[in-house]
Amino acid sequence: MKLFHYKKLSAIPGIILICALLAACGSANTGSTGSTGSTGSTGGTTAGAAGKGCKKVGILLPESASSDRWENKDKPLLQQAIKAALPADAPAADYNNAQGDDTTQINQANSDLTKGDCILVVAAHDGKIAASIVAKAKASNVPVIAYDRLIQSKDLAYYVSFDNVKVGEIQGQYIVDHHKKGDNVVMINGSQTDNNAVLFKQGALNKLQPLFDSGELHKVYDQFTPDWDNDKARVEMDQALTAQKNNVQVAYVANDGMANSVIASLKAQKLAGKVPVTGQDATVAGLQNILEGNQGMTVYKAIPKEAAAVGDLVKAIYNGTATDSLTSGATTKTEDGGAIPSILETPVSVDKANIASTVIADGYVTKDQICKGVPAGTAGVC
Ligand code: BGC
């Protein structure tokens, strides 16, 4: 009891200190007031006063080990898009990666707010826990753009991502098109704390559940993978193969990083190339696995477009102008009843047959990158 009182009292100077550092609790980091996502005089959605004139942006990404994309694509592309959106004298955006730790991500956001960042772009490690980041930002009148992964908060200003159910449907459709009657299917899903992983699975099941129900396919293993941990995916596939005595014919795997681990597991049982494996992200390693015939497909999500959409929003927020033309009226529901103005890009299915006309033609990867170490002539690409 005594200890409890002591703790309570000792927290007060801390709160005062944090308020002092934030300039004033509850007031805007830009010094202006107003609410996030208000309705402008033209009747359209604008960023309102929140973030107007803001030149200091904080980028918060979730992990680096779960996928190549965060450090190799999102980081540089977001930095470029934000720089291009703001006046030349704007400082470079603050960049943070939480490396899979929620407390780290919250601390990074607090530190950005303390430094005076007035727009936050957050790809949450945990979409529910990160709601506290949105609440804290709101108290400083700082708009938060949820990037790629939805945060469950009605106070979000915007959400920028892909149609993630569609991503799962594209993966599921590949299995619909490449299975044999009676095949046993393993499902290795992403992290349950990432709303996207839930949507990918939902999309895949939109295509696969009817086949499971009819007995055309048998689901023999189904697991979410904490942190999208690529090493855990290897353990999961090993377990599934052992439990089924290798009687597995299809592997639904949510992204390329985990697919690479699943392929290693299949290789150890001399099953690689025989079991279709799905993926996502069009990573260099994933595309090489496709060229070599060990992975069936990946989902290409044009991250340059996703980052550019953030740049467009940052520009509109800075100028205080309407964003209706950017979001086209699209909204995404949050669990607490929000409807978040959204920009959702379209994912593309990639397999051996269209690598050249999609990811290479777009300049997302180069032929040199993906053909390195791959025999000349492979798949008509290298
Ligand atoms: C992203 C995927 C990525 C995964 C793991 C998801 O939220 O949408 O592109 O592979 O996280 O990082």
Yes or no: say if 321 and 38 are a contact pair by the CB < 8 Å rule. no
Asked, for residue 18, whether it belongs to a domain, the answer is no
Q: Domain count of the chain?
A: 2
Q: How far is the CA of 67 from the centre of ligand 1 (A)?
A: 7
Do 224 and 362 share a domain, yes or no? yes
Whole-angstrom Cα distance, residue 287 to residue 296? 10
Is the per-residue pLDDT at 279 higher than 90? yes
Burial of residue 110 (number of CB atoms within 10 Å: 0-12, 13-18, 19+)? middle
Do 368 and 238 share a domain, yes or no? yes
Asked, for residue 12, whether it belongs to a domain, the answer is no
- Of ligand 1's listed atoms, the one at least distance from the Cα of 67 is 12
Q: Please work out, in degrees rounded to the nearest 5, the angle formed at the alpha carbon of residue 217 by the alpha carbons of 215 and 219.
A: 105
Tell me what pLDDT residue 5 has.
Answer: 39
Backbone angles phi, psi at 316, to 5 degrees: -65, -40
CATH value at residue 203: 3.40.50.2300
Do 288 and 372 share a domain, yes or no? yes
What does pLDDT average to over the chain?
90
Terminal-to-terminal C-alpha distance of the chain: 71
Tell me what pLDDT residue 25 has.
Answer: 38
Tell me what pLDDT residue 30 has.
Answer: 52
Yes or no: say if 64 and 283 are a contact pair by the CB < 8 Å rule. no
Q: How far is the CA of 49 from the centre of ligand 1 (A)?
A: 32
Do 213 and 244 share a domain, yes or no? yes
Tell me what pLDDT residue 45 has.
Answer: 54
Tell me what pLDDT residue 179 has.
Answer: 98
Do 255 and 189 share a domain, yes or no? yes
Asked, for residue 258, whether it belongs to a domain, the answer is yes
Residue 60 parent element (H or E)? strand 57-61
Asked, for residue 105, whether it belongs to a domain, the answer is yes
Is the per-residue pLDDT at 35 higher than 90? no
Lowest mean pLDDT of 9-18, 71-80, 85-94, 157-166, name the range: 9-18
Q: What is the mean pLDDT of residues 366-381?
A: 94
Q: Determine the residue of 280, 303, 346 to mutate for testing ligand 1's pocket, defined as the one with the most ligand atoms within 8 A of the Cβ atom.
A: 280
Residue at 217: amino acid letter: L
- Of ligand 1's listed atoms, the one at least distance from the Cα of 70 is 12
H-only helix segments in 73-143: 75-85, 102-114, 131-139
Do 360 and 322 share a domain, yes or no? no
**Cα R_g (the chain), whole angstroms:** 23
Do 153 and 266 share a domain, yes or no? no
Q: What is the mean pLDDT of residues 266-286?
A: 98
Smallest CA-to-CA distance from 323 within 153, 158, 167, 79 is with 158
Domain region containing 81 = 37-162+303-345
Asked, for residue 313, whether it belongs to a domain, the answer is yes
Q: Residue whose CA is closest, atom 6 of ligand 1?
A: 196
* 263 — pLDDT class (breaks 50, 70, 90): very high
Is the per-residue pLDDT at 320 higher than 70? yes
Tell me what pLDDT residue 73 has.
Answer: 98
Do 237 and 318 share a domain, yes or no? no
- Of ligand 1's listed atoms, the one at least distance from the Cα of 196 is 7
- Of ligand 1's listed atoms, the one at least distance from the Cα of 161 is 8
Asked, for residue 3, whether it belongs to a domain, the answer is no
Tell me what pLDDT residue 372 has.
Answer: 95
Tell me what pLDDT residue 16 has.
Answer: 40
Do 89 and 152 share a domain, yes or no? yes
Backbone angles phi, psi at 60, to 5 degrees: -125, 110
Q: What is the pLDDT of residues 44-74, one digit of tens each?
A: 455 456 999 999 999 999 999 999 999 999 9
Q: Determine the residue of 69, 195, 199 to mutate for testing ligand 1's pocket, defined as the one with the most ligand atoms within 8 A of the Cβ atom.
A: 69
Q: How far is the CA of 257 from the centre of ligand 1 (A)?
A: 10
* 244 — pLDDT class (breaks 50, 70, 90): very high
Is the per-residue pLDDT at 310 higher than 90? yes
Q: How far is the CA of 185 from the centre of ligand 1 (A)?
A: 22
Q: What share of the chain is helix, strand, coil (3-state, %, to 5)?
A: 45, 15, 40
Tell me what pLDDT residue 14 has.
Answer: 42
Asked, for residue 4, whether it belongs to a domain, the answer is no
* 13 — pLDDT class (breaks 50, 70, 90): very low
Residue 159 parent element (H or E)? strand 158-162
Q: What is the pLDDT of residues 168-218, one digit of tens each?
A: 999 999 999 999 999 999 999 999 999 999 999 999 999 999 999 999 999
Residues with CB under 6 A from ligand 1: 63, 66-67, 69, 148-149, 190, 194, 196, 228, 255, 280-281
pLDDT above 70 covers what percent of the chain? 87
pTM: 0.89
Is the per-residue pLDDT at 81 higher than 90? yes
Do 82 and 61 share a domain, yes or no? yes
Q: How far is the CA of 132 from the centre of ligand 1 (A)?
A: 21
Do 146 and 207 share a domain, yes or no? no
Asked, for residue 294, whether it belongs to a domain, the answer is yes
Q: How far is the CA of 231 from the centre of ligand 1 (A)?
A: 16
Chain center to CA of 205: 20
Backbone angles phi, psi at 95, to 5 degrees: -120, 135
Do 135 and 273 share a domain, yes or no? no
Whole-angstrom Cα distance, residue 234 to residue 11? 44
